[in-house]
Amino acid sequence: MKKMDGAGIAHWNNLAIGYVTQNDKGPLFIASPARTKLDDIATSTYRATPDDLARFGFAIAHEVHGEAQQSGEISEAENSLTSEIAAALKNAERPLIISGTGCGSEAVIQAAANIALALNATGRTARLSYIVPECNSIGLMLLGGGSIEEAISSVETHADTVVILERDIYDLAEKSSVDEFLSKIKNVIALDCLPSKTASKAGLLLPSATFAEGDGTLVNNEGRAQRFYRVLPPTGEVRDSWRWIVRYAEGRREYGCSALEYD
């Protein structure tokens, strides 16, 4: 950014920054279970299982700051790499650690946080970014959302109608448990723009708009409310999912009819 300031280029002007920096990139280290599209520009990569990735992350944190928690022993080659990564992080003006839920490992998430905390303990302000699998994952949790198992249990106990919003729940649980759940529900309503196993089981399927056809608000991975606007008009009976839900709710209030009776 010092180079940008010297050239009088605003930090938001990504195109101009690209012209000035060209191939000048900072050190990038990737630790993941499989190859990524960024491997070609990475300084170094580390492949391991989620448990080993977490152990590796804790070792980096310990290398950054000796009082940071360490989890298990590491090999000589791993020790050399953790030293290289720790040195690069401590020398960086704006160190950034990126992690997320992709490995399905709480330990990996904690290891990333420990690296950031270790850097802060040395006086180096670190930024930490967590990536979530879908739009509104953070927003759902802020609303008190739980697991698919909790949702299934709640619906089976308290409702005879379920509305499934733009999601194939077969991706979230075992097929047998989803089959059993859907067979017990009297009314299954699905809103989606794509065909899916869940949509095929719905008694009422409502066509929802894609992100390019809809307007609305979501909560991104930073916990920020983010507006989006349509660039294409929806055709036929296609509507934003939230507009279908509003229409259904208004019908319930005005006519008192069931989900499957209401247009």
pLDDT digits (tens, 9 = 90+) for 166-213: 989 998 888 998 998 898 888 899 999 999 999 999 999 999 999 899
pLDDT > 50? residue 122: yes
Mean pLDDT across 7-31: 76
What is the rounded average pLDDT for all residues in the chain?
Answer: 86
Q: Alpha helix locations (H) across the chain?
A: 2-7, 14-21, 50-64, 76-91, 106-121, 137-142, 148-158, 175-184, 197-200, 241-255
- The reply to whether 138 falls in a domain is no
Residue range 136-165: average pLDDT?
83
Is there a single domain that holds both residue 231 and residue 181?
Answer: yes
Least confident interval from 19-23, 26-30, 70-74, 120-124: 19-23
Q: Are residues 58 and 82 in the same domain?
A: yes
CB atoms within 10 A of CB 32: 17
Instruction: Say yes or no: 109 and 198 in one domain.
Output: no
Handedness of CA 248, 249, 254, 258 (dihedral sign): positive
- Tell me: do 62 and 116 sit in the same domain: yes
Among 110, 131, 152, residue at a domain's last position: 131
| Residue 262 within a domain | no
135 CA to centre of own chain: 7
Which carries the bigger pLDDT value, residue 213 or residue 258?
213
Report yes or no on 33 lying in a domain. Answer: yes
> Over the stretch 227-248, which tens digit does the pLDDT of each residue have?
999 999 888 889 998 888 888 7
What is the CB-side half-sphere exposure of residue 17 using CA atoms within 13 A?
Answer: 11
Domain that holds residue 187: 144-255
Are 41 and 127 within one domain?
Answer: yes
Would you place residue 263 in the very low, low, confident or very high pLDDT band (cuts 50, 70, 90)? very low
Report if residue 139 sits inside a domain. Answer: no
Instruction: Give how many domains the chain has, as a whole number.
Output: 2
The pLDDT assigned to 59 comes to 94
Shared domain check, 198 and 176: yes
Same domain, 101 and 177: no
The pLDDT-based confidence of 154 (bands split at 50, 70, 90) is confident
How would you class 80 by CB atoms within 10 Å of its CB: exposed for 0-12, middle for 13-18, buried for 19 or more?
A: exposed
CB distance 201 to 170 below 8 Å: no
Q: What is the mean pLDDT of residues 213-222?
A: 89
Domain stop point among 102, 131, 160: 131
For the chain, helix, strand, coil in percent to 5 are: 45, 15, 40
Could you tell me if residue 172 is inside a domain?
Answer: yes
Q: What is the pLDDT of residue 248?
A: 72
- Measured between alpha carbons, how far is 64 from 119 in angstroms, rounded to an integer? 6
Give CA 172 to chain center in angstroms: 15
Give the pLDDT confidence score for residue 211 in this predicted structure: 87
Answer yes or no: is 136 within a domain. no
Q: What pLDDT shows up at residue 206?
A: 92
Task: Evaluate whether 29 touches 11 at the Cβ level (below 8 Å).
Answer: no
What is the pLDDT, as a whole number, of residue 6? 67
Maximum average pLDDT range among 117-126, 142-151, 158-167: 117-126
3-state secondary structure of 29: strand
Residues 118 and 167 placed together within one structural domain of the fold: no
Are 97 and 155 members of one domain? no
Which residue pairs, CB below 8 angstroms and at least 24 apart, start in 199-206? 199/168, 202/164, 203/260, 204/259, 204/260, 206/237, 206/239, 206/244
Q: What CATH number is given to the structural domain containing 195?
A: 3.40.50.740
- Give the domain-ending residue among 74, 104, 131: 131
Is the residue at 71 inside a domain?
yes
Domain-embedded: residue 221: yes
Instruction: Indicate if 119 and 7 belong to the same structural domain.
Output: yes
Choose among 36, 220, 29, 33: nearest CA to 108. 33
Q: Same structural domain for residues 152 and 102?
A: no
Based on the fold, state whether residues 119 and 182 are members of the same structural domain.
Answer: no
Band (pLDDT 50/70/90 cuts) for residue 255 is low
Written as six digits, the tokens of 49 are 């299982």
**Amino acid 259: pLDDT:** 45
Query: What number of H helices and E strands is found in the chain?
Result: 10, 9
Identify which of 1-10, 101-110, 252-261 has the greatest average pLDDT. 101-110
Rg over CA atoms, the chain: 24
Q: Which amino acid is at 159?
A: A
